[in-house]
């Protein structure tokens, strides 16, 4: 719901409220973001700014003299005394840089706005309203639109900004953020980001916000595993179930930037948008630039509720298309099973065993296209390798159908190998500075997605691949970051390259996903190097990490769970010793961790024992029974300490859920565990089963408040029959079912 009263805008969701006003002088002043209020009176929490301190710059706001340095602004600008970090920085047509944006008009509408050329959230079943506040630069006449979306049920507010050049010549955007949030000085805040690397994604980094800038960014071209665009600002005492927490994300797959600037008095300015260091955009007269969409949510009760808001929003308002609510197939992926050593018969044999275990789809990973026997060649040449697949992929998909399996395929469309026919024909299509030496990453180069001909080539090539057989699933990979940045689509100003690349990618993905709506797309970037809401607008799931060791994955998936629902995290059971860590982890643990995501297997089933295959059959039977509940349920991090992690997923509509307990190391003395559940109906009766034949029935209230003590871990004693025998990296799963 969005209301305007006496120049004050109230943006209300079920539990939260965001308030700003237009001052007498026309400035957009932020007033409040937090729990919903029951009175419209904003006077109590307005800043009482009436004089200008010391060396500050004075701005005449009609009835008061203010300094922009202490003003809580909706979108701060350069040149009028706000010497903190600012959100918009423009070099005007006359070469000056000052902006003085004042209110022109506003427009409140039902439904969700769209952002031209960019993916963004949509209303779905939520009740959504949009607001556009038009501001005009007193100096130059250019227009700034502040765009807001209010998602009532999701408790989410989205933001974006649009610049329209009304000047007598071209202007240069040096920086334009998507969102800004000015917070009051009454709390000590922490900045919480998720940092990582290849096979080491989503490690929480929590830093106290001190005077100055606390920031994170991607410089990689894609959103990157270095810092995920999801982050939080929270009061320093916040934990899972206590404290004020703001969650932020960006619907963007490129270089992003998040920062919290604290002034010496403790006011904190958060902002999020395209990384300005890797950006610069020229707008001709009449030209328009629109930012990616930023997402914000608030919880007054800790991380858990913030995460639930984000999960719901991603599931309902970001993920779209035929696969939105469909149960995701259990797949077998050929990568860690066979690497490049594949052919039709070998894959069919793998698929046959997989199908006997209950799996539903075979993914031919890398190595299926002409000449691709290792990672040194052939990217860009998207024709089927006739030696490995003499009868084409259609023959394999027909054979798979006869055993009840579907076919999926891996592609890496944004890349080109130097050793490829495509490079020999079109070296100018690769990202490299003409005439200069360039660097490789995984032996390959990026294709220049700013070039229309390249986009056309990729779209046509993928169209052919996706139609060459009955393809039901596509893994869209991207295995290197940028170097030698240069695009043919922005020859005069290479600061435009990175953003134009992302726009080009979205154009291709938009075309292909709408032409092939039945295909389940999973994106990937050497694991989680492009795990973001922009990709999730096209691909309902993303491969979480190339690290398939469950004892690492449990942390990586915990990291993702702060901002993303588990249904969008691809998670596989792989072979042991694990290929990334050489660690041996029980098969049950590998499954229990993967089961919370979009489950797959990535191991050579034909090397497993009958006993292991029997276990896998049982795992998949279990998964299929509860997959809907787990995938559509609400995910909770129940607890975490240095030796134990507990998760839970609960489908409220069905009254069914699953809880998982993971023990890192066996420590003889520390053998007790209690699971305190979340999200249940307090008065409903539930049965809790699993583990060491546990079967306990009581109310949701008891399960949530007192919890359930599970069987003691084995310590060595006489009566050990019912003990929980643990080895290092052990898990147990418990099922929870409402008894009506
Ligand atoms: C990347 C992916 C892997 C696999 C390989 C294939 O590393 O993350 O899952 O697809 O590429 O080359």
567-610 residue pLDDT tens: 999 999 999 999 999 999 999 999 999 999 999 999 999 999 99
Q: How far is the centre of ligand 1, averaged over its atoms, from the C-alpha of 500 (Å)?
A: 25
Which CATH number does the domain housing residue 626 bear?
3.20.20.70
Other beta carbons within 10 angstroms of residue 491's beta carbon come to: 12
H helix runs in 567-680, sequence order: 587-594, 610-632
Angle at 587 between CA 583 and CA 592, to 5 degrees: 110
Cβ(190) – ligand 1 distance below 6 Å: no
Average pLDDT (346-366) is 98
Q: Which domain holds residue 669?
A: 638-739
- Within a domain: 511: no
- Residue 670, pLDDT score: 73
Cβ(368) – ligand 1 distance below 6 Å: no
Which has the higher per-residue pLDDT, 357 or 668?
357
Task: Give the predicted TM-score (pTM) of the model.
Answer: 0.98
Nearest alpha carbon, ligand 1 atom 4 = 335
Residue of 337, 441, 477 best suited for mutating to test ligand 1, as the one with most atoms within 8 Å of CB: 477
Average pLDDT (399-428) is 98
Do residues 310 and 403 both lie within one domain?
Answer: no
Do residues 647 and 614 both lie within one domain?
Answer: no
DSSP 480-530: ----S---GGGTT-GGGHHHHHHHHHHHHHHHHHHHSTTSEEEE-BTTBTT
Active site members: 477, 546
Do residues 645 and 628 both lie within one domain?
Answer: no
Closest CA to 444 of 430, 458, 465: 430
Nearest alpha carbon, ligand 1 atom 2 = 526
Residue of 526, 570, 603 best suited for mutating to test ligand 1, as the one with most atoms within 8 Å of CB: 526
- Residue 719, pLDDT score: 59
Do residues 628 and 683 both lie within one domain?
Answer: no
Q: Which atom of ligand 1 is least distant from the CA of 526?
A: 8
DSSP assignment letter at 291: P
Cβ(366) – ligand 1 distance below 6 Å: yes
Which two structure tokens, joined as six digits, stand for 694?
Answer: 């546990």
* Residues 310, 567 contacting (CB under 8 angstroms): no
Q: How far is the centre of ligand 1, averaged over its atoms, from the C-alpha of 3 (Å)?
A: 49
- Residue 712, pLDDT score: 82
What residues have CB less than 8 Å from 701, skipping those under 6 apart? Answer: 680, 682, 683
Average pLDDT (263-281) is 97
DSSP 249-263: EEE-SS-EEEEEEE-
Q: Which atom of ligand 1 is least distant from the CA of 410?
A: 10
- Residue 718, pLDDT score: 61
Average pLDDT (4-32) is 98
- Residue 510, pLDDT score: 98
Cβ(602) – ligand 1 distance below 6 Å: no
Q: How far is the centre of ligand 1, averaged over its atoms, from the C-alpha of 485 (Å)?
A: 23
- Within a domain: 501: no
Average pLDDT (672-695) is 95
Q: How far is the centre of ligand 1, averaged over its atoms, from the C-alpha of 341 (Å)?
A: 14
Average pLDDT (213-241) is 98
Which has the higher per-residue pLDDT, 173 or 490?
173
CA distances 179 to 47, 158, 187, 273, 275, Å, are 21, 8, 21, 7, 13
Average pLDDT (378-386) is 98
Cβ(235) – ligand 1 distance below 6 Å: no
- Within a domain: 601: yes
Residue of 340, 409, 479, 530 best suited for mutating to test ligand 1, as the one with most atoms within 8 Å of CB: 479
Q: In whole numbers, what is the pLDDT of the chain averaged over residues?
A: 96
- Residue 720, pLDDT score: 64
Average pLDDT (230-252) is 98
Cβ(408) – ligand 1 distance below 6 Å: no
Do residues 653 and 690 both lie within one domain?
Answer: yes
Q: Which atom of ligand 1 is least distant from the CA of 475?
A: 10
What residues have CB less than 8 Å from 681, skipping those under 6 apart? Answer: 652, 655, 700, 738
Q: How far is the centre of ligand 1, averaged over its atoms, from the C-alpha of 92 (Å)?
A: 45
- Within a domain: 493: no
Average pLDDT (415-439) is 97
Closest CA to 162 of 283, 71, 7, 278: 283
Q: Is the pLDDT of residue 51 over 90?
A: no
Last residue of a domain, one of 632, 649, 667: 632
Cα–Cα distance, 373 to 239 (Å, whole number): 49
Chain centre to alpha carbon of residue 734 = 28
Average pLDDT (368-388) is 98
pLDDT tens sequence across 691-720: 988 999 999 999 999 999 998 887 776 656
Q: Is the pLDDT of residue 114 over 80?
A: yes
Phi (first) and psi of residue 712, to 5 degrees: -60, 140
* pLDDT range class, residue 49, cuts 50, 70, 90: confident
Phi (first) and psi of residue 612, to 5 degrees: -65, -40
- Residue 722, pLDDT score: 76
Do residues 644 and 666 both lie within one domain?
Answer: yes
In the chain, % of residues over pLDDT 90: 94
Cβ(365) – ligand 1 distance below 6 Å: yes
Which two structure tokens, joined as six digits, stand for 543?
Answer: 């491969």
Do residues 309 and 401 both lie within one domain?
Answer: no
Q: How far is the centre of ligand 1, averaged over its atoms, from the C-alpha of 661 (Å)?
A: 29
Which two structure tokens, joined as six digits, stand for 152?
Answer: 């009532």
- R_g (Cα) of the chain, nearest Å: 27
Which has the higher per-residue pLDDT, 290 or 721?
290
Last residue of a domain, one of 632, 651, 679: 632
Cβ(527) – ligand 1 distance below 6 Å: yes
Cβ(734) – ligand 1 distance below 6 Å: no
Do residues 655 and 618 both lie within one domain?
Answer: no
Q: Using CA of residue 304, residue 641, residue 730, residue 230, what is the dihedral sign? A: positive
- Within a domain: 604: yes
DSSP assignment letter at 125: T
- Within a domain: 336: yes
How many residues would you count in the chain? Answer: 740
Do residues 147 and 218 both lie within one domain?
Answer: yes
Which CATH number does the domain housing residue 716 bear?
2.60.40.1180
CA distances 451 to 253, 284, 431, 501, 682, Å, are 18, 20, 10, 9, 58
Do residues 701 and 611 both lie within one domain?
Answer: no
Q: Is the pLDDT of residue 313 over 80?
A: yes
Do residues 593 and 699 both lie within one domain?
Answer: no
**Segment holding 40, helix H or strand E:** none
Do residues 79 and 120 both lie within one domain?
Answer: yes
Which two structure tokens, joined as six digits, stand for 178?
Answer: 């998507």
CA distances 143 to 162, 179, 387, 613, 714, Å, are 8, 17, 59, 64, 69
Last residue of a domain, one of 602, 632, 662: 632
Cβ(634) – ligand 1 distance below 6 Å: no
- Within a domain: 545: yes
- Within a domain: 40: yes
Average pLDDT (217-230) is 98
Q: Is the pLDDT of residue 283 over 70?
A: yes
Chain centre to alpha carbon of residue 671 = 36
* Residues 237, 152 contacting (CB under 8 angstroms): no
Phi (first) and psi of residue 100, to 5 degrees: -140, 75
* pLDDT range class, residue 492, cuts 50, 70, 90: confident
- What domain count does the chain have? 3
Q: How far is the centre of ligand 1, averaged over its atoms, from the C-alpha of 366 (Å)?
A: 7
């Amino acid at each position: 719901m969005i209301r305007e009263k006496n120049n004050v805008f109230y943006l209300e969701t079920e539990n939260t409220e965001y308030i700003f006003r237009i001052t007498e002088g026309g400035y957009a002043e932020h007033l409040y973001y937090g729990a919903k209020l029951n009175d419209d009176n904003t006077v109590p929490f307005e800043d009482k700014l009436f004089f200008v301190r010391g060396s500050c710059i004075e701005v005449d706001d009609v009835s008061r003299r203010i300094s922009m340095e202490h003003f809580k602004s909706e979108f701060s600008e350069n040149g009028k005394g706000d010497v903190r970090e600012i959100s918009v920085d423009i070099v005007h047509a006359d070469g000056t840089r000052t902006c003085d944006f004042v209110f022109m008009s506003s427009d409140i509408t039902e439904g969700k706005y769209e952002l031209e050329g960019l993916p963004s959230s949509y209303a779905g079943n939520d009740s959504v309203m949009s607001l556009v506040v038009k501001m005009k630069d007193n100096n130059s006449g250019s227009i700034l639109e502040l765009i807001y979306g209010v998602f009532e049920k999701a408790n989410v507010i989205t933001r974006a900004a649009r610049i329209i050049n009304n000047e007598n010549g071209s202007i240069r955007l040096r920086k334009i953020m998507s969102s800004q949030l000015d917070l009051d000085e009454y709390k000590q805040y922490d900045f919480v980001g998720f940092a990582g690397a290849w096979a080491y994604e989503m490690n929480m980094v929590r830093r106290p916000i001190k005077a100055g800038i606390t920031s994170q960014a991607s410089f990689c071209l894609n959103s990157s595993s270095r810092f995920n665009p999801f982050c939080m600002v929270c009061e320093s005492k916040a934990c899972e179930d206590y404290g004020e927490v703001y969650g932020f994300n960006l619907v963007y797959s490129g270089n992003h930037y998040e920062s919290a600037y604290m002034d010496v008095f403790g006011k904190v300015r958060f902002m999020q948008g395209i990384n300005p260091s890797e950006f610069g955009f020229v707008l001709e007269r009449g030209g328009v630039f629109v930012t990616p969409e930023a997402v914000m949510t608030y919880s007054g009760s800790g991380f858990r509720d913030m995460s639930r808001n984000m999960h719901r929003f991603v599931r309902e308002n970001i993920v779209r298309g035929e696969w939105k609510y469909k149960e995701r197939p259990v797949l077998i992926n050929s990568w860690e099973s066979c690497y490049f050593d594949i052919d039709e018969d070998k894959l069919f044999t793998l698929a046959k065993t997989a199908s006997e275990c209950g799996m539903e789809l075979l993914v031919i990973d890398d190595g299926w296209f002409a000449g691709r026997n290792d990672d040194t060649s052939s990217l860009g040449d998207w024709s089927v390798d006739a030696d490995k697949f003499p009868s084409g992929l259609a023959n394999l998909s027909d054979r798979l159908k006869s055993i009840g399996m579907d076919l999926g395929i891996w592609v890496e469309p944004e890349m080109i190998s130097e050793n490829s026919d495509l490079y020999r024909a079109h070296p100018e299509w690769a990202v490299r500075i003409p005439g200069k030496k360039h660097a490789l990453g995984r032996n390959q180069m990026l294709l220049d997605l700013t070039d229309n001909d390249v986009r056309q080539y990729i779209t046509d090539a993928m169209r052919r691949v996706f139609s060459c057989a009955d393809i039901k699933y596509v893994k869209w990979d991207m295995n290197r970051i940028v170097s030698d940045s240069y695009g043919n689509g922005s020859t005069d100003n290479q600061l435009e390259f990175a953003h134009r690349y992302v726009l080009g990618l979205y154009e291709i993905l938009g075309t292909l996903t709408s032409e092939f709506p039945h295909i389940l797309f999973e994106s990937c970037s050497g694991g989680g190097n492009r795990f973001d809401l922009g990709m999730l607008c096209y691909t309902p799931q993303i491969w979480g990490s190339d690290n398939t060791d469950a004892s690492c994955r449990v942390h990586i998936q915990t990291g993702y769970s702060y901002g993303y629902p588990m249904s969008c995290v691809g998670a596989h059971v792989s072979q042991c010793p694990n290929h990334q860590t050489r660690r041996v982890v029980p098969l049950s643990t590998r499954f229990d961790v993967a089961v919370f995501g979009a489950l797959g297997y990535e191991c050579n089933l034909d090397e497993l024992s009958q006993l292991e295959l029997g276990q896998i059959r049982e795992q998949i039977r279990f998964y299929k029974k509860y997959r809907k509940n787990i995938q559509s349920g609400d995910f909770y991090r129940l607890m975490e300490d240095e030796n134990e992690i507990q998760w839970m997923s609960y489908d409220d509509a069905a009254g069914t859920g699953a809880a998982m307990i993971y023990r890192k190391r066996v420590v003889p003395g520390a053998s007790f565990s209690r699971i305190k559940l979340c999200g249940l109906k307090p008065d409903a009766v539930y049965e809790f089963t699993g583990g060491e034949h546990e079967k306990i029935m009581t109310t949701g209230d008891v399960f949530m408040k007192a919890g359930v003590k599970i069987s003691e871990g084995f310590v060595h004693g006489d009566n050990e029959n019912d003990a929980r025998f643990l080895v290092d990296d052990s898990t147990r799963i418990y099922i929870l079912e409402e008894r009506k």
